[in-house]
Amino acid sequence: MARVIGQMADSAAADIARAERLAGQALAASPHNQLARRAKAQVLRAQRRFAEAIPEYEAALALDRNWVGAYYALGQCKLFAGSIEETIPLTERAMRLSPREPHGGNFYQQIGLVHLLQSHTGAAIQWLERTRSDRPAHPPTRAQLAAAYALNGEAERAAAELAEARKLSGDDRFSSLARLKAIVGYFGVPKIRVLFEATYFAGLRLAGMPEE
């Protein structure tokens, strides 16, 4: 599931099918095992079944309150399932538990994305710039920063970030809005999709991304 979620799988479908089978076997053998709950939650998140993943992460956290990754993942699930207001507090809890987290860029980006979707453009820029410093070669961060800069009226910076997103991406998802939507495929429940349309996609248009 780490390969799938990190977009490093040669065959996401095959990895998901195998992980789902193994997680099911683990839970059948030990229904209250924290690692088995973690595995099941990760499978559901990789399948974008975010609402179903939430109780699995919560069950795993009930067994281990110090599982840093679960707070981040639960925050992501809450976002795409529609409870966006719960995402930042959960992510901040992960940051407090692991202030020197080697994957801290994930935390910064998640907070930045929520601010972007909530039209808190200045805060979004601050967090996404922090993400860029932590992992400058991450294309989605560059695209989100391009949208935030554009919405903030910083056209040159927006265009530069969009160009970097295109250069760093392993595919053509940032060539047009239609292509981005086709490749990513899912941007949350309808109310969250509306927020993406009003902020992220609107900002990318302003940054110079064509519709088709």
Domain boundaries, the chain: 1-102, 107-212
Q: What is the architecture, at CATH level 2, of domain 1-102?
A: Alpha Horseshoe (1.25)
pLDDT at 34: 85
Same fold for the pair 1-102 and 107-212: yes
pLDDT at 4: 80
Token representation of residue 138:
């991450």
| Digitized pLDDT (tens) for each residue of the chain, 212 residues in all | 878 877 677 888 899 999 999 999 999 999 888 888 888 999 999 999 999 999 999 998 998 899 899 999 999 999 999 999 999 999 999 999 998 888 889 999 999 999 999 999 999 999 999 999 999 999 999 999 999 999 999 999 999 999 999 999 989 999 999 999 999 999 999 999 999 999 999 999 999 999 99
Q: What's the CATH class of domain 107-212?
A: mainly alpha
Token representation of residue 64:
């281990």
- Residue 127 near residue 115 (C-beta atoms within 8 A): yes
- Residue 42 near residue 180 (C-beta atoms within 8 A): no
